Amino acid sequence: MGDKEQNRKKNHAASRREVFQAVAVLGAGAFAAPYFIRRSGAQAADLGPYQSAKLNWRQAEGEKITVAVIPASYFENLITITPEFQALTGVEVRYEKVPPGQIRQKAMLDLTSKTATYATSATDPMYYPLYVSNKWVEPLDKYLNDPALTDTSWFKYEDILKAWRDADSVEGKPYAIPYDGEVTVQVYRRDLYETKNLTSADTFEDFVRNAAAVHDPNNRVWGAALRAFAGAGQNMYIYPSIFRSFGGQWIVNGKIKVNSAEAEQALTWYVDTLTKYAPPAVRNWNWPDIADAFAQGTLGAYIDAHSSAAVLNNPEKSKVVGQIGFARWPKGPGNKRVTSIWNWGFPINASLSEKAKRATWLFIIWAASQETQARTSWKFSGPTKRSGVNRLSTWHSPEFTNAMKSSGENFVEAALQSLEQDTDVDWRPRVPQWPAIGDTMATAIQSALVGQKKPKGALDEAQARLDQIMRG
Amino acid sequence: MANRTAAIAAGERAFALSLFLPAFLVLVLITTFPLVYLVWTSLNRIDLAMPWNSGFAGAENYARMFDDPRFWHALELTLIYTSVTVILQVLIGLGLALLVSRIPVGQGLLRVAVIVPIVLAPVVVGLFWRTLVLAPDFGIVDFVTRALGFGSHNWLGDPQLALISVIAIHTWQWTPFVFLVLLASLAALPIEIFEAARLDRASAWQRFWHITLPLIRPAIVIVIIMRMMIALSAFAAIFAATGGGPGTATEILNLYVYRTSFDALNFGYGAALGVVLLVITLGVSFILFRLRRSR
């Protein structure tokens, strides 16, 4: 309500300003002409990289769209440069910031009731199968293949990281375009490791051995930590990587299977590692807590999103700046490294009008384009340069590497190798029932982590429950 | 003559109806309709995760509960949670009321002070306990137990402690309500009977057991009924403090309804669970009201 009010006021102010501008232009007349010509030239250069696309950017002029995002620096950067999009297309964009814990529910409320409040919203890739089976979002192949809507040689869809494109597709069809994403990598304290003559872990055994070597709780240093708080996006974000690294399969003979021998080994490894080498409070920790603990110098290593590096390198909060090393996930007994394929993508709400859909599509390709990715990363004028850029060419560019070099040793290399080699589209079970599966598994994993149940018992119970859920 | 009376009566009935109708319609719209819709939903297969299965299901959602261990676990927790919180509230509330009713001055101040927990929104209470009272290392409770040498505990992270903690939270918030009601009914007791009893040399215990308790019994029963209905439908404080966790350690029926409907997106089954909770609440209240009337 307050938001709307403010917006309306802003709009009034804007239109008043426009009137003044128009009057000023008329009044100034010929005297100011050279200035205006120069100015419009500068603006054209600014939008040049977009206008080089063979595409009518102004085809949805006058449309207003609302975009739901989470309050995070990678979206803040996008919001900051959105006036450029409005100048380019004449489409007005309003952002609504929704906390990450609520954005799925809010988006789903909008989608089920078909109110078309959000033209698009930053979406969890695990939800596309659900959205698609309810026909809540548009298939995007027709937008990508329509020359009136996409200049393929300019947009270069194939340049977007394959793992993220796959994560945002269902049965080969794209339903969202990734904007920002992350890989999970190993983060370790170089100074601690050097004094003990350790190198980053190559296997799960190494990881445990390293943790044991630096583990010294009496001096407030714990060996390692992993996200352990209950939740589909918390413990069920780390466990799938472990499970897949142990060779586990989510779907066996068309049925979900969570209590296989590999699952039991994986969960046992997770529970044992945390019980022996993590701070006791880790069971309530999500990634910010882990990054904070690491920044305070109380952790030897952790495995989490590469974007958590931003916290570690903030000199005001971190005591370990300059001591941070990065490496890929260790290899599991199944001889695999499995990183997260998490990304925030933008789908198109299927209940929009045709014109609003076009406006939304223009917004999406603008946000996901090479130029905007650069302008929100190394070209961004603010202090935080995005590290979750969506394109292979961007990851390979020297400008990006240069902007990221203060993050720590091996940062870009470890992340890029993970993106190219360690991604796995079946990281988590990609089915419409994911919300129930994620919730059930999170509950089961937590009961094992807090010692309420043995791993086998917890998984058997989850299996029984999932059998019941999948039966419908 | 008779006709005229009948006509007047009919006219009055029509007038009465026209006065009654708007309120009735609003009531139907905001209470009866959602209730009927809930029951209708519970008879259908509505699972957003499996939209291809949607359709009329009859009693299927209800039958499903019989082999759903999580439902039985939630039901058991609900009964434990409700009975323990209500017993604690009545015992502590009655004890406090008896104590305070003897205080000649300053009762007014006490009454105002105890209202504070009641007027807090339960979700605020849950968050307040989670972050300030029960947090390991920082919380008040943890500070006290460490000072007394009982060590630091993960009050909301350990399955048993978490259940005890949410019971403590609810008891803390609602005991003052019991206290206030019982204090008021104690104050209204006729002083003569107690004087007579004292003259007959009844001991303090005898006076309490044979006079005070029977006299305030109606108040106690009403308080128990109200507290039970609220405890059975408790949600916000637990949701904010533990979210039903760790695991399912504090997942009472109401939280299971929520998780089924809005996390797992199975609205049909969630509605059926909601209807069961409603029937239990109505049943318990009905029995208690009957008990109250029978004597």
pLDDT digits (tens, 9 = 90+) for B111-120: 888 888 999 9
User: Could you tell me which chain B residue has the CA closest to the CA of A280?
Assistant: B154
What is the C-alpha separation between A214 and A206, in angstroms, rounded? 12
CB-based contact, B54 to chain A, within 8 Å: no
Tell me which chain A residues have a C-beta less than 8 angstroms from the C-beta of B266: 436, 469
φ and ψ at B113, to 5 degrees? -60, -40
> CA dihedral defined by B64, B67, B73, B79, rounded to 10 degrees?
70
Please tell me what DSSP assigns to residue A324: E
Q: Is A71 helix (H, G, I), strand (E, B) or coil?
A: coil
Give the model confidence (pLDDT) of B255-290 as tens digits: 999 989 988 889 999 999 999 999 999 998 888 888
- Using CB atoms, which residue from A108, A432, A461 is nearest to B50? A432
> Where does the pLDDT of residue A29 fall: very low under 50, low under 70, confident under 90, or very high at 90 and above?
very low
Q: Is residue B186 predicted with pLDDT exceeding 50?
A: yes
- Provide the pLDDT confidence category of residue A314 given band limits of 50, 70 and 90: confident
Range with lowest mean pLDDT among A9-13, A338-342, B231-235:
A9-13
User: Closest by alpha carbon to A86, among A120, A52, A47?
Assistant: A47
B64 Cβ under 8 Å from any chain A Cβ: yes
Does position B179 have pLDDT exceeding 70, yes or no? yes
User: What's the confidence (pLDDT) of residue A32?
Assistant: 45
Q: Which residues pair with A186 in a beta bridge?
A: A303, A327
In tens, the pLDDT along A107-121 reads: 999 999 999 999 999
> Hey, is the C-beta of B49 within 8 angstroms of any chain A C-beta?
yes
- Per-residue DSSP letters for A79-147? HHHHHHHHHHH--EEEEEE--HHHHHHHHHHHHHHT----SEE-B-GGGHHHHHHTT-B--SHHHHT-T
Rounded Cα distance between B119 and B214, Å, is: 30
Burial of B235 (0-12, 13-18, 19+ CB in 10 A): middle
Distance from CA of B211 to the nearest CA of A (A): 48
Q: DSSP character for A329?
A: P
Q: Alpha-carbon distance A82 to A336, whole Å?
A: 41
pLDDT in tens, A239-293: 999 999 999 999 999 899 999 999 999 999 999 999 999 998 888 888 888 999 9
Closest residue by Cα to residue B47 from B256, B263, B267 = B267
Interacting residues of B285 by C-beta distance below 8 A, sequence separation 6+: B225, B228, B229
Nearest-Cα residue of chain A relative to residue B156:
A284
Do the chains contact at A134 and B262, CB–CB below 8 Å?
Answer: no
Min Cα–Cα distance to chain A from B248, Å: 7
Whether A247 and chain B come into contact, CB under 8 Å, resolves to no
Segment A443-455 shows an average pLDDT of 91
Q: Touching check for B157 and chain A: CB below 8 Å? A: yes
B130 touches chain A (CB under 8 A): no
B274 CA to centre of own chain: 15
Q: What is the mean pLDDT of residues A27-50?
A: 54
> Chain B residues with CB inside 8 Å of A443's CB?
245, 247-248
- DSSP reduced 3-state for A225: strand
Query: Does residue A330 have a pLDDT over 90?
Result: yes
Look at residue A323 and tell me whether its pLDDT is greater than 60.
yes
Confidence of residue B246 (pLDDT cuts 50, 70, 90): confident
What would the mean pLDDT of A158-176 be, rounded to a whole number? Answer: 95
Min Cα separation B32/chain A (Å)? 22
Q: How many CB atoms are located within 10 Å of the residue B35 CB? A: 13
pLDDT at residue B1 in the model:
58
Residues 6+ apart with CB under 8 A from A78: A69, A179, A367, A372, A376
User: What residue in A sits closest to B66 (Cα-Cα)?
Assistant: A468
pLDDT of B33 above 90: yes
Q: Mean pLDDT throughout B177-186?
A: 93
Residues from chain B that touch A105, judged by Cβ atoms under 8 A, are 262
Q: Quick one: pLDDT at residue B290? A: 85
B63/A contact by beta carbon, under 8 A? no
Q: How far apart are CA A352 and CA A120, in angstroms?
A: 10
Token pair in block for residue B46: 């509505």
- A 136-195 near B (Cβ less than 8 A): none
Contacts 24+ apart (CB under 8 A), B128-137: B129/B165, B129/B169, B129/B172, B129/B237, B129/B241, B130/B156, B130/B240, B130/B241, B130/B242, B134/B165, B134/B241, B136/A280, B136/A281, B137/A281
Nearest to B49 among A281, A432, A468 (CB): A432
Q: How confident is the model at residue B177 (pLDDT cuts 50, 70, 90)?
A: very high
Helices and strands in chain A, H and E counts? 21, 13
CA distances (Å), A141 to each of A125, A149, B79, in order? 17, 11, 53
Instruction: Give, in order, the Cα–Cα distances in Å from A273 to each of A123, A205, A385, B188.
Output: 32, 10, 34, 63
Alpha carbons B94 and B179: distance in angstroms, whole number: 6
> Would the CB atoms of B157 and A472 count as touching at under 8 Å?
no
Q: Report chain A's mean pLDDT, rounded to a whole number.
A: 89
Residues 35-64 of A with CB under 8 A from B: none
Which ranges of A259-410 would DSSP assign to H, the alpha helix? 261-277, 287-295, 309-312, 354-368, 370-375, 392-396, 398-404
Contacts of A447 in chain B (CB under 8 A): 159, 246-248
Are A283 and B154 in contact (CB < 8 Å)?
yes
Test A130 with B49 for CB contact under 8 angstroms.
Answer: yes
Please state which of the ranges A44-58, B170-184, B201-215 shows the lowest mean pLDDT: A44-58
What is the percentage of chain A residues whose pLDDT exceeds 90? 76
Higher pLDDT, B33 or A46: B33
**The pLDDT of residue B289:** 83
Q: Which residues of B68-78 are buried (b: 16+ CB within 10 A; e: fewer)?
A: bebbebbbebb
Chain A with chain B: Cβ pairs closer than 8 A? 82
Would you tell me which residues 201-240 of chain A have a C-beta closer than 8 angstroms to some C-beta of chain B? 230
Residues of A in contact with B250 (CB under 8 A): none
Q: Tell me, what's the pLDDT at A310?
A: 82
Residue A38 has pLDDT above 90, yes or no: no
Nearest Cβ partner for B246 among A130, A133, A447: A447
Residue A278 has what pLDDT? 95
Output the pLDDT for position A35. 44
Alpha carbons A432 and B15: distance in angstroms, whole number = 56
Would you place residue A430 in the very low, low, confident or very high pLDDT band (cuts 50, 70, 90)? very high
Going by pLDDT thresholds of 50, 70 and 90, the confidence category of residue A18 is: low
User: Could A439 and B69 be called an inter-chain contact, meaning their C-beta atoms sit closer than 8 Å?
Assistant: no
CA–CA gap between residue A81 and residue A366 (Å, rounded): 11
User: B105-109, B125-129, B285-289: which range is least confident on average?
Assistant: B105-109
Q: How many CB atoms lie within 10 A of CB A26?
A: 8
Q: Is the pLDDT of residue B229 over 70?
A: yes
B101: nearest Cα among B190, B191, B194, B186 = B186
CA A152 to chain centre: 24
For chain B, what is the mean pLDDT?
89
If pLDDT is split at 50, 70 and 90, which confidence band does B49 have? confident
Chain B 195-234, CB below 8 Å of chain A: which residues?
Answer: none
Q: Does A281 touch chain B (CB under 8 A)?
A: yes
Q: Is A435 on the interface with B (CB under 8 A)?
A: yes
Residue A462: list chain B partners with CB under 8 A: none
Q: Per-residue pLDDT for A37 more than 70?
A: no
CB atoms within 10 A of CB A55: 18
For A433, name the nearest residue in chain B, comparing CA atoms only: B49
ipTM rounded to 2 decimals: 0.70
* Average pLDDT score over residue span A307-312: 86
Task: Name the token pair of A466.
Answer: 């999932």
β-strand partners of A344: A180
Mean pLDDT of A12-36: 48
Q: Using a CB–CB cutoff of 8 Å, tell me whether B72 touches chain A.
A: no
How much is the pLDDT for A43? 47
Chain Cα centroid distance, residue B165:
17
pLDDT at A202 over 90: yes
Angle between helices B159-187 and B69-101 (to 10 degrees): 40
B151 touches chain A (CB under 8 A): no
